[in-house]
A = this chain, B = another copy of it.
């Protein structure tokens, strides 16, 4: 079967759980390397900044895993910094995935047309699940 046939309906899935307190949001270098300015501004504005950054982080990791599991990802995909996987909020607050740079190239090369993600946090943990299709 052709690659197109093999991948018809194929889905990649990714999950990530984080102990929220493990994300060091006071480390500016870490934050700026992994979050976009829009994400930083969003998370800083939330009532629970720690949980908000952790949720975004979980979402980025879940998206990365979903893309990687979809198919053979060119090696530059693995090296993509996490700020190339941006999580924005749509007008009703649901998270949307915006890929750029090497993350976008890797997803395109794998034939991924769409990546969905969902985020949740409670107690001391955040969890995110992503689907690449």
Contact = CB atoms under 8 A, between A and B. Distances in A.
Interface on chain A toward B: helix, strand, loop, or mixed SS?
Answer: strand
A83 B65 CA distance: 24
Interface string A92-133: 101000000000000000000010111111111111111101
Copies in the complex: 3
A62 B118 contact: yes
Contacts of A85: none
A22 interface: yes
Nearest to A121: B17
Contacts of A94: 65, 68-69
A78 interface: yes
Q: Report the 5 A-B pairs with minimum CB-CB distance, sorted nearest first.
A: A19-B123, A15-B129, A17-B127, A15-B118, A16-B120
18 contacts: A9-B133, A10-B133, A11-B11, A13-B118, A13-B131, A14-B129, A15-B118, A15-B120, A15-B128, A17-B122, A18-B122, A22-B122, A61-B120, A66-B118, A68-B92, A69-B116, A123-B124, A129-B129
